[in-house]
Structure 1
Amino acid sequence: MNAPRTQRSKPRRVDIGVCTFRRAELEHTLRSLAALSIPANTVLRVIVADNDVEPSARSLVYALAGELPFELAYVHCPAANISLARNTCLESGGGDFLAFIDDDSTASPEWLAELLKIADTTGADAVLGPVQAVYGPGAPDWMSQGDFHSTKPIFVNGEIHTGYSGNVLLRRTSPKLAGRRFNLARGRSGGEDTEYFARLHQAGGRIAFAPSALVVEPVPAERTELSWLMKRRFRAGQTHGRLLTELQPNRAVWPRVGLAAAKAAYCFVAAGANAIFADRRNRFALRGVMHVGAVSGLLGAQEIKQYGERQTAGKRGNAA
């Protein structure tokens, strides 16, 4: 564990990466970063990585550059591949830390300070914060009551084994992160961040959690469909199954397939038993779909694509 810093002879430099694809909320996200409480002796820079074929976010970024109280850099990476955009932020950054926030999220004023505080006190290589979903009035009651879109890390025996990119701080100076990049092959299927952090953990990297480093994220109408959540959970299961075989290649596959299938069957039975309770029914059903996805991933099926699908202008083609 790295010892916490008590004195610094030069300012600590922090980059914030915002990967974007035709997101109207980008301006609101950037303005929320302008309201951050920046710790003393810390210099902030924001990198916007535009993943659209056309440089659709450039004019907005250039217009805001003179208004916002930090350096604002724009990089065009036109490949409709979210891994390329994330890697662009990694390669364009030069600070001691690099944080990621989604281009439709709002950072709380203490967001960055809380991430840095946990990084300093734990010496972790990566620090995750919670992403709180905000549902609109058109969302189903069962969905908003069950809060199916918010994100927090999962602890396994007191450790975090993987993570996500919607709210995270990376210690760029850590040897565990040297040369580490997001997998371009998963840049359209999704799960590239799950793999990145799983491999970081496997390499001995530490992932910590900052519960007060909150960002909030609106849930678009198209994501309030049960079918969207099922597709999302299935792909997450596929990623989990593929990673199990990649990270532990010497373990037999069929016992894992059997276990995942048994879990899926249990969840579907439980969903049927809770048929009259929409929240419980759908929660069990979604877990069952995730385990079916794990079976698919364990058997080597190609992961479904969520990124790069063309949509109408003004909507993001990437499913974050």
Structure 2
Amino acid sequence: MAEIPTRDHPDNTPDPAVRPLRALVAVSKTLDPAIETVICIPCFRRPDYLRRTLESLAGQRTSRRFAVVMVENDASRSESVPVATEYLTSGKLTGLCVIEPRQGNCYAINAAFETALQTFPAATSLLMLDDDEVASKDWLKQMLRTAEATGADIVGGPVFPEFDEQRKRGLRRHPAFAPAYEASGPVPVIYGCGNCLIRRSVFEQLGTPAFDLRFNFLGGGDTDFFYRCKRLGMRFHWVAEAAISETVPQGRTSLRWLVTRGLRIGAINYHVQRKATPTRWLRAKLTAKLLAALPLSLVYAVHAVLTERKGTIAMHPVTVAIGSALAAFGLEPQPYKASKIVS
């Protein structure tokens, strides 16, 4: 297997003492370094879903040339590699697949973006999909058109859930699944990287690693990344037409999962805010604010019961508030550890 050195310094010199080499396990017949658009896909134990993702990319209605960078984040099982190899060697897609040996959400995402930036030096637009998502036919065209027309640094789009069970479709409005915005236009920030376009200049300003490894097993490295971009004055745009669908397995519609999701969002919110509070006094104020949010969340819950008439939606603000308070005392879920991932 060939190996791709990763870069840790602004001058792009390798530092293998800090980051181990990533193994190149699949590559298309040709790789044109002049390609300007790269789609990144972190992969973990969902080969059947990945096949659907890649098929949707192969079927994009666009004249733009693009490459795909896949990162297998399970070095022991590597279930994504045969699927990646099939699509790359058959000519359906152009790109490569590497193995990131260190398991964790942020390790995988960083590996994808770093490999893309290194392999395609002319790339100006880097997009990301998860390996359980399916892109609509005009997704890439819409994302690129919006980025060019608006000059936005970051473009986001909706991810719509597809539920295995008919009776679970009422959860489309649940905050864990509903898109952040409904209409296209400038937005203050986006929250997730499951459907995004990021300009190369963004990575150049933020440096490496782009996604903070403190969020590696909690999740939320994307939320932290985008809030850091916001603080630097970068511009965000939402394009409602660039739709992605996400397969939601039965395990992710259970009451237990929804509660854990709320707790995790609360913990992420705490850590993102804590990074902006450098002194003990400010951190104490943040903790007090989060504790005060607990009774307020009950008011939101009552309002949600009256408007949505669905208990799982109503309890979400409460679980988020509890999650933030628990995180302030060092208690939080770790859903991106391999043994705890629901696939």
Residues 15-44 of structure 1: per-residue CA shift (max 9 Å, x gap)? 1011111102101100000111224xx320
Q: Deviations over 1:166-222 (max 9, x none)?
A: 000110134434445112221111111111111111122222211111000111100
Indicate the residue corresponding to 1:126 in structure 2: 154
Of residues 24, 34, 39, the one that matches 2:58 is 34
SS in 1 for 2:219: coil
2:73–2:104: 8 Å Cα contact kept in structure 1?
yes
More displaced, 70-79 or 250-259?
Answer: 250-259
- 2:182 and 2:169 mapped to 1: Cα distance? 25
| Closer, same or farther: CA 162–300 of 1 in aligned 2, 3 Å | farther
Structure 2 residue 295 is the aligned partner of structure 1 residue 265 = yes
Aligned to 1:47: 69
Scaled by the length of structure 1, what TM-score is found? 0.83
Q: What is the match of residue 108 of structure 2?
A: 85
The verdict on how the C-alpha distance between 1:43 and 1:300 changes in structure 2, with shifts beyond 3 A counting, is: farther
- Counterpart CA distance in 2 for 1:185 and 1:147 is 24
Q: Which residue of 1 aligns with 2:275?
A: 246
Q: How much identity, in percent, do the aligned residues show?
A: 24
Aligned to 1:5: none
Structure 2 stretches lacking a partner, 5+ long: 1-32
SS in 2 for 1:212: coil
Alpha-carbon RMSD across the aligned residues, in angstroms, is: 2.8
Change (3 A) 1:96 1:67: same
Moved more, 120-129 or 100-109: 120-129
Q: In the superposition, relative to structure 1, how do residues 232 and 68 fare at CA in structure 2: closer, same or farther (>3 Å)?
A: farther
Which residue identity is paired with 2:200?
R
Instruction: Work out which of the residue numbers 51, 66, 76 in structure 1 matches 2:99.
Output: 76
1:314 is aligned to none
Instruction: Describe the SS at the equivalent of 2:211.
Output: coil
The residue aligned with 2:125 is 97
TM-score of the two chains, using structure 2 as the length reference:
0.78
Aligned residues: 300
**1:112-168 deviation line (CA, Å, top 9, x unaligned):** 11111121122121111100011222644642565752332599xx74234211000
Instruction: Go from structure 1 to structure 2 and tell me whether the alpha carbon gap of 1:70 and 1:177 turns closer, same or farther (over 3 Å shift).
Output: farther
Alignment gaps of 5+ in structure 1: 1-9, 312-316
Give the match for residue 21 of structure 2. Answer: none
User: Quick one: distance in 2 between partners of 1:274 and 1:207?
Assistant: 29
Residues 240 and 183 of structure 1: CA distance in aligned 2, closer, same or farther (over 3 Å): same
2:49 — aligned with what?
Answer: 25
Specify the SS of the correspondent of 1:26.
helix
Letter in 1 for 2:141: A
For 2:110 and 2:303, locate their aligned partners in 1 and report how far apart those are by CA, in whole Å.
Answer: 45
2:81 aligned with 1:58: yes
Question: Of 114, 134, 140, which residue of structure 1 is paired with 2:142?
Answer: 114
Q: Structure 1's 273 and 203: CA in aligned 2 closer, same or farther, altered over 3 A?
A: closer
Kindly indicate whether the alpha-carbon contact (under 8 Å) linking 2:129 and 2:194 is maintained by their aligned counterparts in 1.
yes
The Cα shift of 1:48 comes to 0.9
Q: After TM superposition, where is structure 1 displaced by more than 6 Å over at least 4 residues in a row?
A: 273-278
Q: Map of 1:160-239 to 2, 5 A cutoff?
A: 160-174=188-202, 175-179=204-208, 181-239=210-268
Evaluate the alpha carbon distance shift between residue 109 and residue 274 of structure 1 in structure 2; reply closer, same or farther with a 3 A threshold: closer
